[in-house]
């Protein structure tokens, strides 16, 4: 950004913002995972206030072994839904595979972008199996120091008058069928 901040590492030291076991060459090498899965990590990951770095530090390790997945299952079953029987995977910057009904291009009318960049992708997804054997997913947006949730990607395509609807999320949530611009694009939502 042109000048140093006390809460941002030099880019060469960015991995200091992550638990040692997530650093390159370590047990849960996050960099290798991101490259292997073509995930665009957040550009601000050298920032000590980064929600993306906090999310990776907090959730990614739990998805790397059976013990971590069992801990997540226990927590999610108690605090999210009692039908969660198993957590099978933890995904950072989740986007469903292309050509599926849940891919951002189909579900949210996203026109471009990559997983984690210029496309709506929840910070972390917990892929679960329910007690009756059905698959499920818990999508989670992680905020650490932000003062708000960022606007929906459909909002960018609206004129100023249309965007006013989005300024009252409570009103949109109460009448999303008639007010949500994403829904207007695809009424199946």
What is the reported pLDDT for 6?
A: 87
Cα separation of 117 and 42, whole Å?
Answer: 8
Q: Which pLDDT tens digits describe the chain residue by residue (189 residues)? A: 577 788 999 989 999 999 999 999 999 999 999 999 888 888 888 989 888 899 999 999 999 999 999 999 999 999 999 999 999 999 998 877 777 766 666 655 555 545 544 456 778 999 999 999 999 989 888 888 766 666 566 667 777 777 777 777 777 777 766 767 665 555 444
What is the reported pLDDT for 21?
A: 96
The structure's pTM equals 0.74
What is the reported pLDDT for 111?
A: 57
Displacement of CA 120 from its chain's centroid (Å): 8
Residue-wise DSSP of 9-21: --GGGGGGGS-GG
Nearest to 98 by CA among 114, 77, 75: 114
What is the reported pLDDT for 168?
A: 77
Q: Identify the DSSP state of 127.
A: E
What is the reported pLDDT for 188?
A: 47
Q: Are the C-beta atoms of 55 and 93 separated by less than 8 Å?
A: no
């Amino acid at each position: 950004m042109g000048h140093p901040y006390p809460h941002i590492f030099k880019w060469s030291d960015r991995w200091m913002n992550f638990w040692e076991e997530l650093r390159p060459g370590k047990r849960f090498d996050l960099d290798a995972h991101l490259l292997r899965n073509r995930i665009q990590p957040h550009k601000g990951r050298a920032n000590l206030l980064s929600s993306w770095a906090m999310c990776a530090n907090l959730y990614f390790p739990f998805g790397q072994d059976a013990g971590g997945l069992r801990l997540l299952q226990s927590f999610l079953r108690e605090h999210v839904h009692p039908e969660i029987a198993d957590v099978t995977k933890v995904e950072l910057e989740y986007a469903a595979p292309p050509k599926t009904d849940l891919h951002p291009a189909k579900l949210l009318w996203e026109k471009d972008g990559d997983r984690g960049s210029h496309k709506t992708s929840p910070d972390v997804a917990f892929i679960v199996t329910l007690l009756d054997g059905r698959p499920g997913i818990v999508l989670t947006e992680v905020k650490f120091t932000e003062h708000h949730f960022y606007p929906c990607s459909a909002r960018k395509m609206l004129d100023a008058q249309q965007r006013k609807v989005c300024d009252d999320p409570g009103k949109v949530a109460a009448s999303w069928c008639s007010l949500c611009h994403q829904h207007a694009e695809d009424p199946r939502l």
